Structure 1
Amino acid sequence: MNIEQILDKVYLLPGALKLKLYQSIVKVSYPKGHILLRADKIENSIYFIKKGIVRAYSKTGDNEITFWFGKEGDTILSMKSYVENQKGYEDIELLEDCELYELKISNLQKLFYEDIHIANWGRKFAEQELIKTEERLISRQFRTATERYKDLLKNNSNLIQRVQLGYIASYLGITQVSLSRIRAEIK
């Protein structure tokens, strides 16, 4: 997915302003297994996924709890660093070799002050991220693991082929054995 498509999904900017935003974005690549964002660190960049899959997770004791997957067109960021310039709580691991677009938060903040349209783009961006987080929370609280798995199949079926089942089980809040049982029941 190209950067124009990704940015336009958030909010349509006039051409000259879109170009101004593009000029702050750099294309980067990292290998599978790379930890892009680290917990307990203030992150300085936002990334948009051109190609690849990532996961967000938090460590609790000896366990890693996966709570989000990102794929082509999605945004990678520490919302805590982006909004409050504070240390984040998540690690972001690349599950495939990834091509990303990187935008420094400081450059984006500068553009917010320079133009109301870009500031509105940033507002819409934050609103969309908040809604995605809210939907994940509601799903986790009010749906069964089977319902969450079916929803994953319906909305992100390609993740099943691209992501380890252990990460999917963690994302669903169940063991790998329970996931195997659910998968057998659905077939």
Structure 2
Amino acid sequence: MEIDQVIDTIYNIPEVSKVNLKKFITEVSYPKGHLLMEANKVIPHMYFIKKGIVRAYSSGINNEITFWFGNEGEPVVSMNSYVNNQPGYENIELLEDCQLYKLETDRLKKLFNEDIHIANWGRKFAERELIKTEELIISRQFKPALERYKDLIKDKPDLLKRVQLGHIASYLGITQVSLSRVRAEIK
């Protein structure tokens, strides 16, 4: 997905503001398996996915819990680093070779003070991330695994072709055996 589409998906801003924002966005590429962000570290930048897929996970004593997948057009950000300039709690792993757009958060915050349109874009960005987090929490708390799986098929159907079933099971909060049962129930 091209950067203009990514910016416009979050919030439409005047062309002059978009040009100013894009001055500070660079393209980077990393291979599958690369750890883009590490837990317990302040991450001074954010990304938008041009091509590829990533997962966010937290590590427990004996396991990893996947709690988010991102693909083309989506932002990748440690919200605790972005908002509070404090270490994040998530690890972000690339599940495919990825092309990303990188933006330093300090530079973005300076742009917020210089351009009200970019400031509004940043507000819309944060609002969208908050809503995604609320939806995730509500889904995990109140929906059974079958319904969460159906939501995943509806919202991100390509994940099932691109992501290991173990990561999908972890995301749904179930074992791979339970995921097999859920998948059989749908067929």
Q: State the TM-score bracket (shorter-chain normalisation).
A: over 0.9
Match of 2:126 in 1: 126
Displaced runs of 4 or more, over 6 A: none
The one-letter amino acid of 1:69's match is F
Q: Deviations over 1:72-122 (max 9, x none)?
A: 010000000000000000000000000000000011011011111111110
Give the whole-Å Cα distance in 2 for the aligned partners of 1:157 and 1:117. 34
Give the whole-Å Cα distance in 2 for the aligned partners of 1:186 and 1:9. 32
Match of 2:46 in 1: 46
Question: 1:185 Cα shift?
Answer: 1.2
The one-letter amino acid of 2:2's match is N
Q: What's the secondary structure of 1:141's corresponding residue?
A: helix
Give the whole-Å Cα distance in 2 for the aligned partners of 1:154 and 1:109. 35
The one-letter amino acid of 1:79's match is M
Match of 1:13 in 2: 13
Question: 1:10 Cα shift?
Answer: 1.0
Is 2:34 the partner of 1:66?
no
Is 2:166 the partner of 1:140?
no
Q: Deviations over 1:20-42 (max 9, x none)?
A: 00000000000000000000000
- Mean CA deviation greater in 112-121 or 166-175: 112-121
TM-score by length of 1: 0.99
The one-letter amino acid of 2:137's match is L
Q: Deviations over 1:40-83 (max 9, x none)?
A: 00001110000000000000112100000000010000000000
Give the whole-Å Cα distance in 2 for the aligned partners of 1:79 and 1:160. 27
Match of 2:96 in 1: 96
The one-letter amino acid of 1:71's match is N
Give the number of equivalent residue pairs: 187
Give the whole-Å Cα distance in 1 for the aligned partners of 2:108 and 2:183. 43
Give the whole-Å Cα distance in 1 for the aligned partners of 2:93 and 2:26. 20
Question: 1:152 Cα shift?
Answer: 0.6
Question: 1:150 Cα shift?
Answer: 0.8
Give the whole-Å Cα distance in 2 for the aligned partners of 1:106 and 1:167. 33
Q: Within 5 Å, which residues of 2 pair with 1:108-123?
A: 108-123=108-123
Give the whole-Å Cα distance in 2 for the aligned partners of 1:80 and 1:112. 18
Question: 1:178 Cα shift?
Answer: 0.2
Question: 1:175 Cα shift?
Answer: 0.3
Give the whole-Å Cα distance in 2 for the aligned partners of 1:141 and 1:86. 27
Give the whole-Å Cα distance in 2 for the aligned partners of 1:33 and 1:145. 27
Give the whole-Å Cα distance in 2 for the aligned partners of 1:11 and 1:65. 31
Aligned-pair identity (%): 66
- Mean CA deviation greater in 150-159 or 30-39: 150-159
Q: What's the secondary structure of 1:157's corresponding residue?
A: coil
| Unmatched runs of 5 consecutive residues or more in structure 2 | none
Question: 1:167 Cα shift?
Answer: 0.2
